Amino acid sequence: MVKSKQPAKRHRQSLKRRERNYELRSRLRTYIKNAREAVKSNAEDKNELVSLACRELDRMVTKGLIQKNTASRGKSRLIKTLSSSNQ
């Protein structure tokens, strides 16, 4: 048990952030998975799902969940698989 107020508050904040980051990371993975499955199965809305996944990657950068280059790499890979499936 902590003896002063500040470490207790920091611990509470870290628990809240961990829970929020878990939810956001899970949502991001779901968007990416749905986009990949749509491209693989050649679904009608694959373009829309890829763009939603790219938008979600950008949103996670602004929230500080992933780094900018990681999001860029993920978007690049999604678009690359989409363009190769269109040919």
pLDDT of residue 5: 93
Q: How many domains does the chain have?
A: 1
- Picking from 28, 29, 15, 14, the residue whose alpha carbon sits closest to that of residue 62 is 28
**Cα 58 from chain centroid (whole Å):** 8
* pLDDT exceeds cutoff 80 at 2: no
Instruction: Give the Cα separation of 58 and 66 in Å (integer).
Output: 9
Read off the CATH number of the domain in which 32 is found.
1.20.58.110
* pLDDT exceeds cutoff 80 at 87: no
> pTM of the prediction?
0.87
Instruction: Give the Cα separation of 31 and 46 in Å (integer).
Output: 12
* Structural domain for 18, as ranges: 5-86
